[in-house]
Structure 1
Amino acid sequence: MRFTLRQLEVFLAVAQHNHLTRAAESLAMSQSAASSALRDIEQQFDVQLFDRHGKRLQLNEQGRLLLPKAESLLVQARELEQQLSRHSTIGNIKVGATLSIGNYLVVPLMASFMTDHPGTRVTLDVANTRTIVEELLDFQLDIGLIEGEINHPHLHIEPWMEDELAVFCHPHHPLAERQRQLQRQGQSLKPSDVIGQPWIVRESGSGTRQAFERAFHGWLPEMNIQLELQHTEAIKRAVEAELGLGCLSSITLRDAFERGRLVALHLPQLNMQRRLYLAMHRQKFKTAGIEAWLDLCRGYAKNVVTNQS
């Protein structure tokens, strides 16, 4: 073999820090040794992996192509080393979750995971679907739990759980009373009843906004979007302040509905169903920790389905 794992470690460290000195420090080695390792691998294969700008090294296209394979190879080597050393530690994992999932579903999963595997640590990054996908593609995350429908050639997307959006309003909103009147007559609200109302919705790039626009497809040009907010709690507070109607995952609204702070508006003519997904980079090596996390998520989804049956 014409390269060493140490050379790959140096390559990955430089790609992360864009600076040879900082890369060497992160690997607890001298700058000259790191420089030599990087120079050797480039010379051995007659390839340049970085563009040099003074002391700054910027990964070029050739380096970007090598990056995921080098990372995958090192992860497998470390796992093999653990097995050879007879270490049974699952290891730490980095999870990304979209806001509804991260704020309402993932924390119990993290607690269960760390209880089942003492000494492990789960790092959680909560953001919208677009951001989580970008971080998966950049190998900043091991796995993502997302709400949006994504089709990317570099990502493996696995259906995880069923979810449903809910349109809601303040208990004193005229539509809440109209819904009660219609229900006494055996009828329900129609999309035309809500289209012209002021709306407070999630920002573009979020899975919730994607599902909202799909549900109201055809009426979007007529809708009065007053506010776009990044956080579910902010949207709920805005609706409680009687600024308009909201539309969020039913997961995020259970407590508010039970306490009577908000009222669900039922629109049976609209398809408010959607799926939640597990997402990984196709070239990401599945460590024992990642496999354990996937098994936990799949088991949780099965339990939810069983309890709803």
Structure 2
Amino acid sequence: MLRTSLRQIEVFVATAQKGNVTQAAALVGITQSAASMALAEFENQLATRLFDRIGKRLALNEDGRALYPKAVEMVERAREMEGLFRQPGGAVDLRLGASSTIGNYLLPQILGSFRANRPGCRIELEVGNTQQVINAILHFEIDVGFVEGPCLHPDIEAGFWRPDELAICAAPGHPIAQPGGAGIEVLRAADWILRERGSGTREVVDQMLMSQLGGIRVMMELGGTEAIKRAVESGMGISCLPKIALVGAVERGNLVSIPTPYLQLTRAFHILVHKDKYRTGGMSSLIRLCQSMAAQNSTM
């Protein structure tokens, strides 16, 4: 006879995500006392403790970490079943994470197309740097991640999505923007403005420029592409940014994309899913749409 209830599993998952029972209860929509009782009964039925009590915070112990992916899968399967008859194609409730270039310049159009066929779907998108997205995947805080840098973590499935081109940019009046002004020695000696460490763009730029130029002078680190563009436009230095992020500024004449045929500035975007993550129909549909739209763009 099955003694464990879905509510107990839901409270366990919420507690693992929030780190305390009070916030877990609010997330699930029950009282704090009811959540505490459900969690205590769940641990008693399993004859084990699932959390270490660290001050006021609950952290998964070894048994809790082993159970967590299976519990998340059960809750997601239950939600998927509940939504089967609510709307055509089933309910979709997705939590996504993306590094900044993808989240700001690529995903909005894709999610617009995705929602057009699923008017009742709910999507949360968190934009951060690559390492933040990887951490969110590892802790099951998001369902699918989109990153600009490589991911080699053994618990994450990283599938190639699409290529992306970078370009060195400068203000129109910068000496490097003048004809013949972007030689290798000039690039080495220039003042560079780059993304913060942990960013996929920064990691790729470091690898590409260091290997091809033999070292550059990083004068400033900023936490976002738009902030870097403003700094470069003001003449403070040069940068290497995704071409897709430069289109508007180049068209307005605020920035110049520097031709560097002697440099290889292409990287790969990847789609991340935890290897223990249950892939709902909504997740699979979104990933297929992303791959389909990438294939269409590559043939244009």
Q: TM-score, normalised by structure 2?
A: 0.90
CA contact (8 A) 1:82 1:88 kept: no
Question: Hey, what does 2:157 align to over in structure 1?
Answer: 156
Question: Hey, what does 1:183 align to over in structure 2?
Answer: none
- Counterpart of 2:190 (choices 183, 187, 197) is 197
TM-align CA RMSD: 2.3
Structure 1 residues without counterparts, runs of 5 or longer? 181-188
Are 1:62 and 2:55 matched, yes or no? Answer: no
Question: Hey, what does 1:98 align to over in structure 2?
Answer: 99
Q: Taking structure 1 as reference, are residues 36 and 235 closer, same or farther at Cα in structure 2, changes over 3 Å only?
A: closer
1:201 Cα offset (Å): 0.8
Task: Tell me, in whole angstroms, the C-alpha distance in 2 between the residues paired with 1:120 and 1:172.
Answer: 48
Task: Tell me, in whole angstroms, the C-alpha distance in 1 between the residues paired with 2:252 and 2:20.
Answer: 54
Question: Hey, what does 1:302 align to over in structure 2?
Answer: 295
Please list the CA deviations of residues 50-102 of structure 1 after superposition, one character each: whole Å capped at 9, or x if unmatched.
22367654332321221122101221233234448897433121111111111
Alignment of 1:1-309 (within 5 A): 1-29=2-30, 31=32, 33-52=34-53, 56-83=57-84, 88-179=89-180, 189-218=182-211, 222-307=215-300
Task: Tell me, in whole angstroms, the C-alpha distance in 2 between the residues paired with 1:16 and 1:68.
Answer: 12
Aligned pair count reads 299
Task: Tell me, in whole angstroms, the C-alpha distance in 2 between the residues paired with 1:85 and 1:237.
Answer: 46
Farther off after superposition, 132-141 or 11-20: 11-20
Please list the CA deviations of residues 209-253 of structure 1 after superposition, one character each: whole Å capped at 9, or x if unmatched.
111111112477742111101111111111111111111011101
Q: TM-score, normalised by structure 1?
A: 0.88
SS in 1 for 2:210: coil
Q: Taking structure 1 as reference, are residues 160 and 265 closer, same or farther at Cα in structure 2, changes over 3 Å only?
A: same
Report the structure number with the largest CA radius of gyration: 1
Task: Tell me, in whole angstroms, the C-alpha distance in 1 between the residues paired with 2:252 and 2:28.
Answer: 54
CA contact (8 A) 1:136 1:142 kept: yes
SS in 2 for 1:96: strand
Task: Tell me, in whole angstroms, the C-alpha distance in 2 between the residues paired with 1:265 and 1:18.
Answer: 49
1:168 Cα offset (Å): 1.2
Please list the CA deviations of residues 257-295 of structure 1 after superposition, one character each: whole Å capped at 9, or x if unmatched.
223221122222221110111111111111121122112
Q: Taking structure 1 as reference, are residues 87 and 81 closer, same or farther at Cα in structure 2, changes over 3 Å only?
A: farther
Task: Tell me, in whole angstroms, the C-alpha distance in 1 between the residues paired with 2:57 and 2:161.
Answer: 42
CA contact (8 A) 1:157 1:278 kept: yes
Please list the CA deviations of residues 149-174 of structure 1 after superposition, one character each: whole Å capped at 9, or x if unmatched.
11111111111111111001111222
Q: Taking structure 1 as reference, are residues 126 and 56 closer, same or farther at Cα in structure 2, changes over 3 Å only?
A: closer
Farther off after superposition, 5-14 or 224-233: 5-14
Task: Tell me, in whole angstroms, the C-alpha distance in 2 between the residues paired with 1:241 and 1:30.
Answer: 54
Task: Tell me, in whole angstroms, the C-alpha distance in 1 between the residues paired with 2:176 and 2:25.
Answer: 64
Task: Tell me, in whole angstroms, the C-alpha distance in 1 between the residues paired with 2:212 and 2:287.
Answer: 38
Farther off after superposition, 67-76 or 242-251: 67-76
Q: Taking structure 1 as reference, are residues 59 and 236 closer, same or farther at Cα in structure 2, changes over 3 Å only?
A: same
Structure 2 residues without counterparts, runs of 5 or longer? none
CA contact (8 A) 1:191 1:270 kept: no
